[in-house]
Amino acid sequence: MRQYHFRPDAVAVLMRNCVFEVHDWGSTSGGGVAHFGRDGAPTRVVMHTAQHEACVHECAHAWWYELERERPARKDPAVAELIAVFRLQSLLEDGGYPVIRQHCRQFRTSMWNEELGRWSHDEIFASLASAVMCDMRRMPVGFHGVYGEMLVMPQ
Ligand SMILES: [Zn+2]
């Protein structure tokens, strides 16, 4: 995780609250899932293969879930901040952040959960993180507040 700019305190949260599984170290075809551990159970972070992109994606999911456990008062403001910047970025031209803006435009229609009546904010958070492999230099500054709680700015 440190290779992909995770903050030491974010790594500590993940190591404290999660269990990690890699099913096939011999493949990098991808895929994974993170199951939030309810009622004090550890969050299960499953990587189907050793693909780094899947790893940072699932770790970002897990960190977003763990924000709820570790700092519940921060979760709602963080969600509001993420969605506000996400919606703004989805309306902008590519500018200097083509990967992020392209993802935001794409998710504007696919990340609204009709059933729950809300954005799939955990998926938005994890997908944008893995889209740029957790490199905040490739994210518009509006995202730095939310992602800066999980990531350090690379030198
Ligand atoms: Zn995901």
pLDDT digits (tens, 9 = 90+) for 7-58: 999 999 999 999 999 999 999 999 999 999 999 999 999 999 999 999 999 9
Kindly state the average pLDDT of the residues 71-76.
Answer: 94
* CB burial of residue 38 (10 Å; 0-12, 13-18, 19+): exposed
Tell me, in angstroms, the distance from the centre of ligand 1 to residue 91's CA: 23
The reported pLDDT for the residue numbered 155 is 85
Q: Where are the beta strands (DSSP E) in the chain?
A: 18-22, 32-35, 43-47, 112-113, 118-119
Mean per-residue pLDDT, 103-119: 91
Tokens of 53: 């992109």
pTM metric for this prediction: 0.94
Distance 70 CA to ligand 1 centre (A): 21
Provide the pLDDT for residue 143.
Answer: 98
Spell out the domain ranges in the chain: 2-70, 73-147
